Copies of this chain bind each other. A is one copy, B any other.
């Protein structure tokens, strides 16, 4: 995947191109799949839904809140926007099939940036087996995206948040805390490295969603707000206590090294040292999948056991409440945004 390269220089602006010109260009840049019966350019798209049901979810990606154009390339923004939505369908046990993209942007946005965005959207859709099928454009003071994903259950029952039972095991697949560590590094001026890349370009494990459904998952969610916060949704919806084992959530060397780097470069401006476990437990945006399975389920190696469901309420770590940061709430006073760099990102 080229990062900022691969884009033909195009110094026109979207304003000069006009709405219909922009839509025509975007649609020319986006490949289609055989599932798409009617694509971009009519009043609506028509997509195959062979299962007789359709899975659907919609997500914001706002400049200044979820990304910064000086931190992420257009391709990265497109990939992140698609990833956030596509994984929601996978978390139901479904296969993503199509994506609708609403893009509002300043009139002076370069057409080359819009093209990069389309490339990123298309690349991430391709990872998941989906394609961009429609959208809308408008003008706004900053770039804002709303992506809506559609998916197919292929005959499986949807895996809800409400199906966990006492005795179930809790497992996760995908990265935990990498995107949060990357955000802390970016905020500290580090612009390169695998953790920064994880913040810019999350790589959710799409195919693990249908896999979990086939393995008998009783509940599932994608980790967008943080492991504790999102498992809290499963605990609440299922009426169980989820108890995690910190020994199974030990931060890897990459997170330990990032914490050490941040503490060294901090210059003593804060009295607290960086706790990489807080990234693992509280960091969202990696879009890992967490699921509960009946006790004794035979899980492929990529599913790591991290705890169990018991009678009770809430989420605990080693049987105790966790006192660190818990996750995102976009409307609460303390919610984290991509800019300004949130202090919680380094707590």
Please give the residue numbers on chain A whose beta carbons come within 8 Å of chain B beta carbons, in ascending order. Answer: 14-15, 17-20, 22, 37-38, 41-60, 62, 65, 88-89, 91-92, 94, 98, 100-102, 104, 107, 133-140, 144, 146, 148-151, 153, 158, 160-162, 220-222, 237, 328-333, 335
- Asked whether, in the complex, the Cβ of B331 is within 8 Å of the Cβ of A102, the reply is no
Q: How far does the alpha carbon of A328 sit from the alpha carbon of B46 in the complex, in Å?
A: 25
Q: A43-B88, A44-B88, A332-B18 are in contact. Are A134 and B100 (CB under 8 A)?
A: no
- Asked whether, in the complex, the Cβ of A56 is within 8 Å of the Cβ of B98, the reply is yes
Shortest CB–CB separation between residue A313 and chain B, in angstroms? 16
- Asked whether, in the complex, the Cβ of A335 is within 8 Å of the Cβ of B139, the reply is yes
Shortest CB–CB separation between residue A88 and chain B, in angstroms? 5
Q: A53-B46, A144-B144, A330-B138 are in contact. Are A58 and B158 (CB under 8 A)?
A: no
CB closest residue in chain B, given A149: B44
A136: which B residues are within 8 A, CB to CB?
Answer: 58-60, 146
- Asked whether, in the complex, the Cβ of B329 is within 8 Å of the Cβ of A148, the reply is no
- Asked whether, in the complex, the Cβ of A47 is within 8 Å of the Cβ of B53, the reply is yes
A50: which B residues are within 8 A, CB to CB?
Answer: 52
- Asked whether, in the complex, the Cβ of B48 is within 8 Å of the Cβ of A100, the reply is no
- Asked whether, in the complex, the Cβ of B158 is within 8 Å of the Cβ of A37, the reply is yes
Most chain B CB atoms below 10 A, which of A43, A88, A153: A43
Q: How far does the alpha carbon of A104 sit from the alpha carbon of B330 in the complex, in Å?
A: 10
Shortest CB–CB separation between residue A213 and chain B, in angstroms? 12
- Asked whether, in the complex, the Cβ of B38 is within 8 Å of the Cβ of A57, the reply is no
CB closest residue in chain B, given A220: B43
- Asked whether, in the complex, the Cβ of B46 is within 8 Å of the Cβ of A134, the reply is no
Q: How far does the alpha carbon of A331 sit from the alpha carbon of B187 in the complex, in Å?
A: 33
* 8 sample A-B contacts, Cβ–Cβ < 8 Å, listed by A number: A17-B331, A44-B56, A44-B94, A45-B57, A57-B100, A59-B136, A102-B102, A150-B150
- Asked whether, in the complex, the Cβ of A56 is within 8 Å of the Cβ of B19, the reply is no
- Asked whether, in the complex, the Cβ of B52 is within 8 Å of the Cβ of A92, the reply is no
Q: A44-B89, A46-B55 are in contact. Are A65 and B146 (CB under 8 A)?
A: no
- Asked whether, in the complex, the Cβ of A329 is within 8 Å of the Cβ of B20, the reply is yes
- Asked whether, in the complex, the Cβ of B56 is within 8 Å of the Cβ of A150, the reply is yes
- Asked whether, in the complex, the Cβ of B58 is within 8 Å of the Cβ of A19, the reply is no
Q: A136-B146, A330-B19, A331-B22 are in contact. Are A158 and B46 (CB under 8 A)?
A: yes
Other A-B contacts than A44-B91, A58-B102, 20 sampled, CB-CB below 8 A, are: A15-B332, A18-B331, A18-B332, A19-B330, A42-B92, A43-B89, A43-B92, A44-B89, A47-B53, A49-B51, A49-B52, A56-B148, A57-B100, A60-B104, A60-B138, A62-B140, A136-B146, A144-B144, A146-B148, A150-B150
Q: A42-B92, A91-B43, A101-B58 are in contact. Are A146 and B146 (CB under 8 A)?
A: yes
Contact of A139 among B43, B56, B330 (CB under 8 A): B330
- Asked whether, in the complex, the Cβ of B53 is within 8 Å of the Cβ of A329, the reply is no
Most chain B CB atoms below 10 A, which of A38, A42, A65, A107: A42
